[in-house]
Amino acid sequence: MRRKKLYITLVCSFIVATILSVFILLNSNKILTNFKIISVDNNMREYTVKYERVKAAVNYRITIYDQNDIKIYDETFDSNVAKFNLNNLEYDNTYSLMVYAIDKSGETRPAKSEYKFKWDEASMEYDSTILNDEDLYLTIDGDLQNKHYKIECLFNDNVKLSEELTKDEYVVSKSIYQGLSGILKVQIKSGEKIVDEHSFYNNMNPISDVTISSIEDNSILKYNDVYLEFTGGDNSESTEIKIYENKKLIKTSSTTKKKVILSKNLFKTGLNYKIEVIPTIGEYKKNASVNFQMSEKEQLKPVYISNNWNHIKRGTKITLASPDKDATIYYTLDGNNPESFGIPYKEPITINENVTLKAVAVSDNKVNSIIKTYNIDVSDMAQLKVYISPSNQSKNFGVKEALYTNERDEMNDLSNYIVERLERFGVKIKRNNSSGNINLWLKESNYFGANLHIAIHSNASVNHTSRGIETWIHSESSDTYSLANKIQKDLVSIYPDKDKAYADRGVKYANGALGEVNDNYLPFGILVEVAHHDYYEDALWIMQNKKLIGYNIADSILKYYQIIE
C-alpha cells in the first residue's frame, strides 16, 4: 500500500514538473527564465562579463557591491556580453557582481548566483583632495614585495614624476605644484596599466559647476511638493539649499544628496520663489539658482489602478480611483490622450485583452493630474516574491503607557503577521536581518528577485503631536504608485477615527531621499509608516491590533496581485 502511494506521488510530481516545464518552454519569449553568469575576465581595471541570453529580456543590468554591501557600479547593457572599466577598487577587498535580466515591462530576474572576486592590486589612501601648496601624503595598500609597481604624477596632464613604488608610505613633494593652479593626477601602474588613480587640486576650486536640472528658470510650478535635482557639484562635502520667498530667505538646509524633495508646505500659491544650491568643501563653493512662481491652483494626484497591470487575469474587472475625492476620472483604452479623448470612469472595466490604459484626474478648481499610463498585459504571473524589511531602529522609543517598547521590536513583531498571511497563500518571502543595514537589505532584495520590497515602520514627530498613517514611494510616476495607494487606503479603513483629517496622511514621495523606495536602487519599493509610536492613541492601536494591521497589509498585497479576491 505504501509503495502504491509513493508511486502515485512520484507520478503526480512528474506530471506537474512536466506541465510546468512545457509551460515555461512555450512562454520563454514572455517569461524571464533562469540563467547564469558564464565568465568574468579582467585585464587590470578593464572587465568583460558574459552571461546566458534570456529570450524575454530586452536588456541586462550589472551591479557590483563592495564587501560593506555598498553599490559601486550599476549599468545596463543591451547584449549578453558587457565590457566596462572599474575605478577606485581597494586592495584586498572582495566584490560581488550580479547580472539581472529585464523584460519589456521592467520586471527583473537575477542570475542563479553572484560572482565574487578579490582585487589584489595596489591602491592608495589619503586625507584630502585639496593640496593648497602642501605635500601630499599617501598610504599604499598592496603587495609591494612580490609585485612591481611604479607611481606617476601628472600636473595639468604633464608628467612630473615617474618612479618605482616600493614603500607603503609615499610623499608627493609640493615642489611639483607649489605656487601653481591646477589638477594633480596620481597613478599607480603595473607595467603601463593603471591600477589606481586619483585627482588632487591645488590653488583652485575643486567643485565642478552645478546646474539645477529639475526646474526650468522663470517657470510656473504646479502647487505640489517640489522635486529638486541638480547635477555637478562633484568633490563637495555637503550642499546648502536656500529658499527665498519674494526675495526673503525663508529656509536653509543642508544635504549630501543631489535629489531632494521640498514639501509644498514651504510654499504658497501665487508667490515667487528662488532656490539656491551651494555645494561646499572647505573654503570653496559653487552655486546655482532657479526662479519660479507657484501656481494659483493645487494639482490633483494621479489615478491609480486596482491590480498589477503587468499580469492581469482574463476577465478581471479593474477599478480606477483618485486620492482626491473631488476629482473626475477620464480614461482611454487605446493609448489616446484622456484629456482630449477620455470617457468618464463610472464602473469597473472588464479586461479581456492587452490594452494601453491612460487615465487623468480632473477638477474645475484644480490643475489636472499627470496622465498615468498602464500597459495592461493579460498573462499569468510566476510565484510572487516579497522582501519584507521591518525597521531596525531600536532607539526609537514609543509611549510606555501603551506598552510600546521600540520601533524595531514592535515592527518586527507586526511583520510576523504579514509574513504568516502571505506565506499561507504561497508567497515566497525573504526577510531582512534587523541587525543589518540598508545597503545589505537592498542587495539581498535585488539578489532575491523580489517583485515587491516593503519596509514596515512606525512614525514619530518632533513635538509628539502628530498621528495617522502614511506610505512612501519614490515619486508619483513610480510603478509602486497604485499598490502604495491601495495599502494606504486599506490601512486607513481600519484606523480609529478614520474620518478625521489626521488619519490619512497620504502617499508621499521621497524622490531619492529614502533608499528602500528609491527606483534607482529597487524596481518596486514601498515604505509604510504604521501610525505614530510617540502618540498614545496611535501606539495603543498598534499594540492592540498587530494581527489586524499585519493581515490588512498582506491582504492589500494579495488582492493587488490577484492571489485572493
> Residue 182: pLDDT band by 50, 70, 90 thresholds?
very high
Using an 8 Å Cβ cutoff, are 446 and 385 in contact? no
Write the pLDDT tens digit of every residue in 451-474: 999 999 999 999 999 999 999 999
> Residue 532: pLDDT band by 50, 70, 90 thresholds?
very high
Looking at per-residue pLDDT, the higher value among 60 and 20 belongs to 60
Domain boundaries, the chain: 37-118, 123-202, 211-298, 304-376, 385-560
Using an 8 Å Cβ cutoff, are 213 and 143 in contact? no
Identify which of 546, 412, 392, 526 has the alpha carbon closest to the alpha carbon of residue 471. Answer: 526
Residues 6+ away with beta carbon under 8 Å from 234: 207, 208
Q: How far is the C-alpha of 75 from the C-alpha of 449, rounded, in Å?
A: 17
Q: Which three cell numbers mark 312?
A: 492581469
Homologous superfamily of 385-560: Zn-dependent exopeptidases (3.40.630.40)
Query: Which numeric CATH code is attached to 123-202?
Result: 2.60.40.10
Using an 8 Å Cβ cutoff, are 533 and 398 in contact? yes
Q: For residue 22, what pLDDT is reported?
A: 46
Q: Which three cell numbers mark 92?
A: 584586498
Report the chain's mean pLDDT, rounded to a whole number.
93
CA 123 vs CA 119, 142, 325, 517: distances in Å = 10, 7, 59, 34
Query: For residue 190, is pLDDT > 90?
Result: yes
Query: For residue 273, is pLDDT > 60?
Result: yes
| The residue type at 212 | I
| The residue type at 198 | H
Query: For residue 261, is pLDDT > 50?
Result: yes
Q: How far is the C-alpha of 403 from the C-alpha of 138, rounded, in Å?
A: 54
Write the pLDDT tens digit of every residue in 395-426: 999 999 999 999 999 999 999 999 999 999 99
Q: What is the mean pLDDT of residues 379-384?
A: 91
Q: How far is the C-alpha of 320 from the C-alpha of 300, rounded, in Å?
A: 15
Provide the percentage of residues in the chain whose pLDDT is more than 70.
Answer: 95
Rg (CA), the chain: 28
Query: Which numeric CATH code is attached to 304-376?
Result: 2.60.40
Q: How far is the C-alpha of 105 from the C-alpha of 205, rounded, in Å?
A: 44
Q: How far is the C-alpha of 554 from the C-alpha of 528, rounded, in Å?
A: 12
Query: Which numeric CATH code is attached to 211-298?
Result: 2.60.40.10
Q: How far is the C-alpha of 89 from the C-alpha of 196, rounded, in Å?
A: 7
Q: Which three cell numbers mark 132?
A: 593648497
> Residue 298: pLDDT band by 50, 70, 90 thresholds?
confident
Q: What is the mean pLDDT of residues 476-494?
A: 96
Phi and psi at residue 253, to the nearest 5°: -145, 165
Crossing angle for the helix pair 546-560 and 481-492, to the nearest 10 degrees: 140
Q: What is the mean pLDDT of residues 306-329?
A: 96
> Residue 382: pLDDT band by 50, 70, 90 thresholds?
confident
Q: For residue 222, what pLDDT is reported?
A: 86
Fold agreement between 211-298 and 385-560: no
Q: What is the pTM of this model?
A: 0.82
Q: For residue 365, what pLDDT is reported?
A: 86
Architecture of domain 37-118: Sandwich (2.60)
Q: For residue 26, what pLDDT is reported?
A: 46
β-strand partners of 373: 358
Provide the percentage of residues in the chain whose pLDDT is more than 90.
Answer: 85
